[in-house]
Amino acid sequence: MRRPLNRPQGPGAALIWDLLTFERLMTNTVVHLIYWAGLAIIAVGVFGFIGAAVGVAIRDPFPWGVLMAVPVAVVGLLVMAALLLLWRSFCEFYVAIFKISEDLSAMRADLEAEKTKLPPR
């Protein structure tokens, strides 16, 4: 029977061990970075949308430009709010899925430890 590998000791060894094995998942950090990157992309898109509305209002000599730009800017802000909520919910979904995975592996480890404590029949 094959013995499991021993966890290395030392200051940097635990980090390398966690990177090479899947005993501890690092998805919280990764999802956090992806969340902030997605927020930045949403913000850039919405600011471009609102900037285009302001540009139309400035370039048009008639009042129709302003009348067109105001609803477009309002719709841009509403779309931003909807995208932010949607993006947050997707990221929270992924975090929940990985938390379930961590809980299942902890339950599996507890079950295996309990099996080794029981006397053989």
Q: What are the residue boundaries of the structural domains of the chain, listed by start?
A: 28-99
The tokens describing 56, both together, are 């139309």
Burial class (CB in 10 A: 0-12, 13-18, 19+), 24: exposed
| pLDDT in single tens digits along all 121 residues of the chain | 455 566 666 666 676 776 677 666 677 778 889 999 999 999 999 889 888 888 888 888 778 778 888 888 888 889 999 999 999 999 999 888 888 888 888 888 888 888 888 776 6
